[in-house]
C-alpha cells in the first residue's frame, strides 16, 4: 500500500504492477489486457505470444545473482506464526497500557509489515486508529505525530503525512527530513536530494534498512545496476533470521528489473526467489503469476492466483485471475471480475487514495470501465506524479480511446524521471 522505499518493518507499498504483453497499438478494445500497449521485451516471449520480432542476442547476465543470500533463516510458517503472535500479544498488552509509546509504535510497525506481505488491509484500518489514538493521548509529543504520519503514508495520504512530520518537528525540534524522503520518493519528487540524504545516513550507519533505502532511491533515478548492487549489499548487512526481509529484497529487485528496467527475464527469477522465501507473499505471487502468464503458462499462473487469493484481502489476484480464465471460462471470469470490483469499492471507501493505481489498472482491463479507470489514474497523478503513475494514466487513456487525454498526460510525463518503459512510451507517443 505505502511507498515502496520504506524498510520491511514498515508498509512497503502496493507493488508496481504490469499486465500481459500483446502486440497492439492505440485505441484497442478497452476490455483487453491492461498493458497490451507495452513494448515486448524479448524474442522468446514474443514467440510464445505469437507476435513477430527480430531475433536479438541474449541479455548479458554476468554477475547477476537472483539469490545472493545463502545464510539460514527460519521457515516461512514459523515467521508467519511469530508475526501473528507478536501482534496478538501486543494487542493484549495495549489493553492494560493503552498509552504506552513503545507499544503503540511497535504494534503499528508489526501491522504494517503483515499488511505489506499478506495483503491484510484490515491492518491498515487498525494502524490509522493507532495513529489517531497516539495523537489524542499524547498531543504534545512529536513521536505521536510521526506515528500518525506513518499511518497516513501507508494509505498514500501524503499531504497529511508531510503536515504531521512538520508539526512533529515544531513540537520537539527533531529533524525529520530523512523521514520525509519516503514521501518524496513515493511522489517522484526531489529524487537527487533523496539519494544524497539516504547515502549520508547509510555512510554513518550502513544498516540493512539504510542500504535498502539507498537502493530504492537509485532505482527511482534509473541507475539500475548500482541499485541492484545496493540491494545485494543490504543483504550482506542483514543479521537476523526472519525470511521476510530476504523475500522483500528479492521482490523489490524483481520490480526494479522487470517493470522499471524492462528485464522480465530477471524479474521472473527474482519473484520466484521471493515466494520461495515466503510463499504467502501476496504481491510477489501476483507479479510472478503475471510473468508466468506472459511466458505462456496460463495454467500455472491461474493455479498460483487461486491459492493466493484465498489468503489475502487484496482484490488484485482475483482481478488478474479473471483475465487469465476469460477465454476458456467467460462465466467464471465475469464472476471473478465482479468479486474484484466489490473488493476495490470497499477499499476505495476506506482508503480513497491508497488503491487508485491498482483500481485504474483493474477498470482499464477486467473491470471494463475505462472511463472510470482514467478518472482514477488522473486522481492518482494528482497525488503522486511518479513514473509508474504516468504509465498507468497513459494506459488508462489508451483503454478509454481518449487521445487528447493521452497526449496531455504524455506532455506532463516529460518532466518525470522515466523508467525504460515510460521513456519508450513517450518516444512513441507521436503527440507533437
pLDDT in tens, 126-136: 999 999 999 99
- pLDDT reported for residue 101: 97
- pLDDT reported for residue 63: 78
Domains and CATH numbers, the chain: 1-54+311-432 (1.25.40)
Confidence of residue 60 (pLDDT cuts 50, 70, 90): low
- pLDDT reported for residue 379: 98
Burial (0-12, 13-18, 19+ Cβ within 10 Å), 339: middle
Task: Quote the mean pLDDT of the chain.
Answer: 88
CB 212 within 8 A of CB 7: yes
What is the grid cell recorded at 169? Answer: 518537528
CB 386 within 8 A of CB 340: no
- How distant, in Å, are the alpha carbons of 52, 127, 144, 152, 174 from that of 140? 64, 20, 8, 19, 13
How large a percentage of the chain has pLDDT more than 70?
86
- pLDDT reported for residue 429: 87
Per-residue pLDDT reduced to its tens digit, 358-385:
999 999 999 999 999 999 999 999 999 9
Q: How many whole angstroms separate alpha carbon 221 and alpha carbon 162?
A: 22
Instruction: Single out the residue of 169, 168, 214, 166 nearest to residue 194, CA to CA.
Output: 214
Taking residues 313-332, report their average pLDDT: 97
CB 13 within 8 A of CB 4: yes
- Which position has the grid cell 471494463? 368
Per-residue pLDDT reduced to its tens digit, 63-98:
799 999 999 999 999 999 999 999 999 999 999 999
Confidence of residue 47 (pLDDT cuts 50, 70, 90): very low
Confidence of residue 389 (pLDDT cuts 50, 70, 90): very high
Per-residue pLDDT reduced to its tens digit, 248-301:
999 999 999 999 999 999 999 999 999 999 999 999 999 999 999 999 999 999
- CB within 8 A of 407, min separation 6: which ones? 429, 431
- pLDDT reported for residue 233: 97
CB 133 within 8 A of CB 104: yes
Q: Which residues of 259-275 are buried (b: 16+ CB within 10 A; e: fewer)?
A: bbbbbbbbbbbbbbbbb
Confidence of residue 431 (pLDDT cuts 50, 70, 90): confident
- pLDDT reported for residue 432: 66
- Which position has the grid cell 526472519? 242
Q: DSSP secondary structure string, 31-46?
A: TS-TTTTSPP--HHHH
Q: How many whole angstroms separate alpha carbon 367 and alpha carbon 386?
A: 24
CB 34 within 8 A of CB 20: yes
How large a percentage of the chain has pLDDT more than 90?
83
Phi, psi values for residue 235, rounded to 5°: -65, -35
Instruction: Single out the residue of 314, 16, 11, 286 nearest to residue 155, CA to CA.
Output: 11
- CB within 8 A of 256, min separation 6: which ones? 219, 224, 227, 228, 231
Query: Would residue 22 be called left, alpha or beta, if left means φ above 0 and alpha means ψ between -120 and 50 degrees?
Result: beta
What is the grid cell recorded at 331? Answer: 462465466
CB 88 within 8 A of CB 107: no
- Which position has the grid cell 524522503? 181
Burial (0-12, 13-18, 19+ Cβ within 10 Å), 338: middle
Q: How many CB atoms lie within 10 A of CB 405?
A: 18
- CB within 8 A of 228, min separation 6: which ones? 64, 215, 253, 256, 257
Radius of gyration of the chain (CA): 21
Per-residue pLDDT reduced to its tens digit, 9-22:
333 332 333 332 22
Confidence of residue 335 (pLDDT cuts 50, 70, 90): very high
Q: DSSP secondary structure string, 258-282?
A: IIISS-HHHHHHHHHHHHHH-TT-H
Stated length of the chain: 432
- pLDDT beyond 80 at 407: yes
Per-residue pLDDT reduced to its tens digit, 180-238:
999 999 999 999 999 999 999 999 999 999 999 999 999 999 999 999 999 999 999 99
- pLDDT beyond 80 at 40: no
- pLDDT beyond 90 at 386: yes
- pLDDT reported for residue 61: 78
Structure-model confidence comparison of residues 427 and 219, the more confident one? 219
Angle at 310 between CA 113 and CA 285, to 5 degrees: 60
Q: State which of 42-46, 58-62, 369-373 shows the largest mean pLDDT.
A: 369-373
Amino acid at each position: 500500500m505505502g511507498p515502496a522505499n520504506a524498510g520491511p518493518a514498515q508498509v512497503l507499498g502496493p507493488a508496481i504492477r504490469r499486465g500481459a504483453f500483446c502486440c497492439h497499438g492505440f485505441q484497442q478494445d478497452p476490455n483487453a489486457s491492461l498493458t497490451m500497449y507495452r513494448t515486448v521485451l524479448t524474442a522468446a516471449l514474443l514467440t510464445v505470444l505469437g507476435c513477430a520480432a527480430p531475433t536479438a542476442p541474449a541479455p548479458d547476465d554476468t554477475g547477476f545473482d537472483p539469490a545472493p543470500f545463502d545464510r539460514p533463516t527460519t521457515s516461512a510458517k514459523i515467521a508467519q506464526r511469530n508475526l501473528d503472535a507478536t501482534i496478538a500479544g501486543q494487542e493484549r498488552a495495549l489493553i492494560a497500557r493503552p498509552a504506552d509509546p513503545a507499544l503503540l509504535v511497535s504494534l503499528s510497525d508489526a501491522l504494517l509489515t503483515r499488511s505489506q506481505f499478506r495483503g491484510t488491509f484490515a491492518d491498515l484500518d487498525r494502524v490509522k486508529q493507532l495513529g489517531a489514538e497516539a495523537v489524542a493521548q499524547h498531543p504534545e509529543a512529536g513521536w505521536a505525530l510521526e506515528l500518525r504520519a506513518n499511518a497516513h503514508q501507508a494509505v498514500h495520504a501524503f499531504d497529511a503525512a508531510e503536515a504531521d512530520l512538520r508539526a512533529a518537528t515544531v513540537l520537539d525540534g527533531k529533524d525529520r527530513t530523512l523521514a520525509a524522503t519516503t514521501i518524496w520518493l513515493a511522489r517522484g519528487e526531489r529524487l537527487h536530494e533523496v539519494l544524497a540524504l539516504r547515502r549520508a545516513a547509510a555512510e554513518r550507519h550502513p544498516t540493512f534498512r539504510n542500504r535498502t533505502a539507498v537502493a530504492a532511491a537509485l532505482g527511482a533515478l534509473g541507475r539500475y545496476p548500482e541499485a541492484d548492487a545496493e540491494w545485494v549489499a543490504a543483504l550482506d548487512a542483514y543479521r537476523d533470521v526472519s525470511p521476510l526481509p530476504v523475500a522483500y529484497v528479492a521482490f523489490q529487485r524483481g520490480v526494479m528489473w522487470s517493470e522499471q528496467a524492462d528485464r522480465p527475464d530477471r524479474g521472473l527469477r527474482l519473484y520466484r526467489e521471493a515466494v520461495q522465501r515466503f510463499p504467502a507473499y501476496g504481491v510477489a505471487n501476483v507479479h510472478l503469476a503475471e510473468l508466468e502468464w506472459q511466458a505462456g503458462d496460463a495454467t500455472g499462473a491461474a493455479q498460483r492466483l487461486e491459492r493466493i487469493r484465498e489468503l489475502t484481502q487484496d482484490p488484485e489476484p482475483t482481478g488478474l485471475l479473471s483475465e487469465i480464465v476469460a477465454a476458456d471460462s467467460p462465466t467464471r471470469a465475469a464472476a471473478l471480475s465482479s468479486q474484484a470490483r466489490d473488493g476495490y469499492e470497499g477499499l476505495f471507501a476506506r482508503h480513497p487514495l491508497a488503491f487508485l493505481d491498482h483500481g485504474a489498472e483493474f477498470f482499464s482491463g477486467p473491470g471494463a470501465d475505462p472511463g472510470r479507470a482514467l478518472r482514477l489514474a488522473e486522481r492518482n497523478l494528482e497525488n503522486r506524479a511518479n513514473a509508474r503513475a504516468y504509465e498507468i494514466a497513459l494506459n488508462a487513456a489508451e483503454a478509454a480511446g481518449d487521445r487528447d487525454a493521452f497526449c496531455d498526460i504524455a506532455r506532463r510525463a516529460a518532466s518525470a524521471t522515466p523508467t525504460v518503459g515510460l521513456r519508450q512510451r513517450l518516444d512513441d507517443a507521436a503527440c507533437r
